[in-house]
Structure 1
Amino acid sequence: MNSQTSNLSLTENITTIIRPPYFYISGFTGIPHMKYYYVFLSLVYIISLMGNIFVMFVIYVDRSLHSSKYIVVFNLALTDVCGTTALVPKLLDMFFFDRQFISYDQCLTNQFFVIVFLFMQSFNLTILSYDRLVAICCPLRYHMLVSHRSMFQLTGAAWVFAVLIVLIPVGFITSLSFCRSVVINSYFCDHYPLYSLAAPCSDVLPNRVMSHLIPCIVFFIPMIFIIASYICIIHALFTITLPRDRHRAIKTCTAHLILVAIYHLPVNITYLFVSFLPSNIRILNLSLTSVLPPMLNPIIYVLKTEEFKVSAKRLLKRVAQRAVGPLMLT
């Protein structure tokens, strides 16, 4: 009798984790004319790849851009290439070729890489705001505070932190049981729709806490730092007496402010009101946040940053001369 009782209590204490062999990504369901949106995503992906690879190539080739600031710009372009590549090709493959089933392990891998690169964009923009803050408020100490070593350390720490902080919610997913639906109401293996599927079968409180805490750390705190840094920058601008110097200082911040606006405004709205936004609006907003900033970042830098524009023109002129030279000889 005692043996049977102990076996029963042991059986009750064993928790069986139900992991489905696959998930089904529903994507943009119920939204009319979505085939045109997929074509749009394809064009955005191609432009993003070409633009960011061009930015990295110009920075790598032109020694005049081998400064501390452009370490972060290069890292931002690299993040954009990796982020769009982690997301868009798989998305297009699923919905153009009706391959919306994804295995359990592939789903967690997809979630990890997409979110890591999304977070890295926030960290890169924060490091660039630090660069602008020091350049305008402490110009005499700029080369001491913003050295190659400090920029490599900041970007390296950002990568490590992004990887570690994403591993936490992904790790919590592995402890959940999915005993009912396997349909993810998103366009990738998004964390919030995924752990919501396990709500009837598992305690999702740790996942819910992480889904609110991590965006605060990754999006809202950097946004507060960026706002505070620009308050200091605006105050410093009033102390600059020469209009030409003030105009030059403002111009150096314009590109960064545009990048911050097109990235932080939609992503903060999405994660701040994640529980209140209609599903389709959330999916479209988050998808545009994932693909538009990587496409616009190189365009903005080419158009708004004078030193990069000069370097790009010089490089293109050199390439054109080398291409035309053999033709002139023949």
Structure 2
Amino acid sequence: MSPLNSTFFKNDTTSNIVHPDFFFIRGFAGIPYTKYYYGFLCFVYALSLLGNTFVMFVIYTDHCLHSPKYIPVFNLAVSDLCGSTALIPQMIDTFLFKSHLIPFETCLTNMFFAFWFVAMQSFTLTVLSYDRCVAICFPLRYNEIVTSKSMFVIIAILWIFAGTVIFTAVIFISTLSFCKSTVVNSYYCHHGPLLRLACNDNTPSTVINRTHPVVIFWLPVLFITATYICIARALLKIAAASERFKAMKTCTSHLILVSVFYLPIAFSVALGSTIEQNTRVINMSMSTVLPPVLNPIIYSLKTEEFRESIKKLYRRKKLHLTVRNA
């Protein structure tokens, strides 16, 4: 252990666990022109706040959107908004204002919320695929199967499940001793890079680290793939091409959301260790900050009901202003 690192560690004499006072978030060190990226992060965060707040506002104010299918859309906006808030302000503070040192407890808190909201983004996309599958495969039973109550229950269970899984991972991380280094090779307190700094038996945390991607990403991807196989089979049974196209059109916004969220992650995992460290950090950071910005834009542009609700709100606002100025 270097003299620099030794000043950051404290020993819990009751359990022989060594915790650092601070972790050093390496982030984008060695990457050129990062000041422009920090400016981009500020812009992205502001856009994410505006976009997702707007989506929630439209759904809340328009009673035509008070239907089961828009409950997960509202939940996705909440997850995106909270996920951006958990990550981007901390990243800006760390790198733009040179606050690379993050206290141990703050690091674990940041890890919990960042992973929790990312998990909910993934699970909500899964719920949206379930909704589309039922709507196309069982159109006559849709209102019977997909109700507001069932949607609320599913989403509440997913919030609790995701929170429990992530909290368990954080608890196991807190039981590790860190005596190798305090430098975290990521742009936030990421579970994997922290795990590699541990110097005691980290078998439970290693198992969790390998299980998490399966639970949070790959099982949802498998479920979404299965739902679209069912949707494709159902579409093939529709004789009229116009009806087939109309049914497919209702899935386009969801498919774009799925691509934006999962493809960058799949790209990083597929290339694995062949990706240079800085490239991996930039790719993973983009995959976490861009979906919350793009989701409200994609949904607003690609969903006809939502576009009509925006037009209705605009006309209502215009009429209100006309009456006020008359």
Q: Same fold (TM over 0.5)?
A: yes
Q: Kindly provide the amino acid, as one letter, of the partner of residue 179 in structure 2.
A: C
CA distance in structure 1 between the partners assigned to 2:318 and 2:162 by the alignment: 41
Equivalent in 309, 312, 324 of residue 311 of structure 1: 309
Contact 1:196–1:204, Cα closer than 8 Å, also in 2: no
1:70-109 alignment, distance < 5 Å: 70-109=70-109
Q: Kindly provide the amino acid, as one letter, of the partner of residue 151 in structure 1.
A: M
Contact 1:220–1:268, Cα closer than 8 Å, also in 2: no
SS across alignment from 1:102: strand
2:10 aligned partner: none
Moved more, 141-150 or 239-248: 239-248
Moved more, 286-295 or 317-326: 317-326
Residue 27 in structure 1 maps to residue 27 in structure 2 = yes
Contact 1:71–1:152, Cα closer than 8 Å, also in 2: yes
What do the CA deviations read for 1:201-223 (whole angstroms, capped 9, x no partner)?
Answer: 21222222211111111111110
Residue 291 in structure 1 maps to residue 320 in structure 2 = no
1:30-179 alignment, distance < 5 Å: 30-179=30-179
CA distance in structure 1 between the partners assigned to 2:15 and 2:82 by the alignment: 38
CA distance in structure 1 between the partners assigned to 2:271 and 2:182 by the alignment: 24
Contact 1:219–1:268, Cα closer than 8 Å, also in 2: no
Q: Kindly provide the amino acid, as one letter, of the partner of residue 158 in structure 1.
A: L
1:5 aligned partner: none
Q: Cα distance, 1:275 vs. partner? A: 4.9
TM-score, reference length from structure 1: 0.92
SS across alignment from 1:68: coil
CA distance in structure 1 between the partners assigned to 2:210 and 2:280 by the alignment: 16
Contact 1:123–1:158, Cα closer than 8 Å, also in 2: yes
Q: Cα distance, 1:269 vs. partner? A: 3.4
CA distance in structure 2 between the partners assigned to 1:316 and 1:298 by the alignment: 17
SS across alignment from 1:150: helix
Q: Kindly provide the amino acid, as one letter, of the partner of residue 217 in structure 1.
A: V
CA distance in structure 1 between the partners assigned to 2:184 and 2:284 by the alignment: 15
Change (3 A) 1:116 1:274: farther
2:4 aligned partner: none
**Residue segments in structure 2 that go unaligned for 5+ positions in a row:** 1-12
Q: Cα distance, 1:273 vs. partner? A: 5.3
Q: Kindly provide the amino acid, as one letter, of the partner of residue 43 in structure 1.
A: F
Q: Cα distance, 1:74 vs. partner? A: 0.1
Q: Cα distance, 1:276 vs. partner? A: 4.9
Equivalent in 207, 216, 228 of residue 209 of structure 1: 207
CA distance in structure 1 between the partners assigned to 2:242 and 2:56 by the alignment: 30
CA distance in structure 2 between the partners assigned to 1:187 and 1:101 by the alignment: 12
What do the CA deviations read for 1:240-270 (whole angstroms, capped 9, x no partner)?
Answer: 1222221110110000000001111112333
CA distance in structure 2 between the partners assigned to 1:282 and 1:162 by the alignment: 25
Change (3 A) 1:252 1:312: same
1:163-242 alignment, distance < 5 Å: 163-198=163-198, 201-242=199-240
Residue 269 in structure 1 maps to residue 267 in structure 2 = yes
CA distance in structure 2 between the partners assigned to 1:319 and 1:211 by the alignment: 50
Aligned residues: 314
Contact 1:125–1:260, Cα closer than 8 Å, also in 2: yes
Q: Cα distance, 1:16 vs. partner? A: 0.6
**Residue segments in structure 1 that go unaligned for 5+ positions in a row:** 1-12
SS across alignment from 1:19: strand
Moved more, 90-99 or 299-308: 90-99
Equivalent in 284, 298, 301 of residue 300 of structure 1: 298
Contact 1:23–1:104, Cα closer than 8 Å, also in 2: yes
1:9 aligned partner: none
SS across alignment from 2:102: strand
Q: Kindly provide the amino acid, as one letter, of the partner of residue 232 in structure 2.
A: I
TM-score, reference length from structure 2: 0.93
Q: Cα distance, 1:115 vs. partner? A: 0.5
Q: Cα distance, 1:278 vs. partner? A: 2.8
